[in-house]
Structure 1
């Protein structure tokens, strides 16, 4: 039992709580603490990470975005551009089946994913192309023309 479980939350400062009349209240508090501590340190069960790994690179006059989507087909993937936000989303369905003489194991995992990347201003959505080959999605788009930096000398005047 730790000191925290002995302190009353309603008291000001760190005054020790008054003795409780029911032994079950103290027991309930201790059980709640044990389960809380246990849950905080509990490792996640083995679940595959559904978030695809992505790379963004510049190649000459284009930007290329690649995403690892093993086991997915074109119909499982959606690429969408809204304002300047490119979103790649889809659903993964993973099945692992193991058979031998003494056992049969079938593990299934399902889940949706979505990754978004903010693109620079001036991207023409008609020029974006997406290809899925061997579980790797490649989205290419031309780089927007660079805006000319505007420079202007501002005259400094004395205050009136």
Structure 2
């Protein structure tokens, strides 16, 4: 005699509760939808964001007697930049934090922003680190690195593409 609690076997042999994979898929889809509905009633929370270390784009130009590095550092002030130059590498790091706060007792929003950059560039030629110069203009850091042994700038020759 078969007990009332024993599930009947399906004629297809896939599952005792579902007759096809399509029904199983529909069941999971309904479960997912119900779960999303139940969580939508909770208040929305945004997770705190960690400061993001951005890698900035840069150009390295050989000008014969010197190397010139142009690096984009938007949102950074010159007091926030740290440069370290060795005879064969350049390290640039920058961090700027801003915080705005209204002097109200029950503020609903308080915003902070932070931008950070870090880049180490190996240099193709030795430079005189003590003579390096840097200037920040409109978010572009221009670094001039005099070479230890200047090289002659190669003459350019136009080549036609076939």
Normalised TM-score (structure 1) = 0.48
Q: Which has the higher contact order (CA 8 A, sep 6+)?
A: 2
Would you tell me which structure has more strand in proportion to its own residues?
Answer: 1
Q: Whose Rg is larger?
A: 2
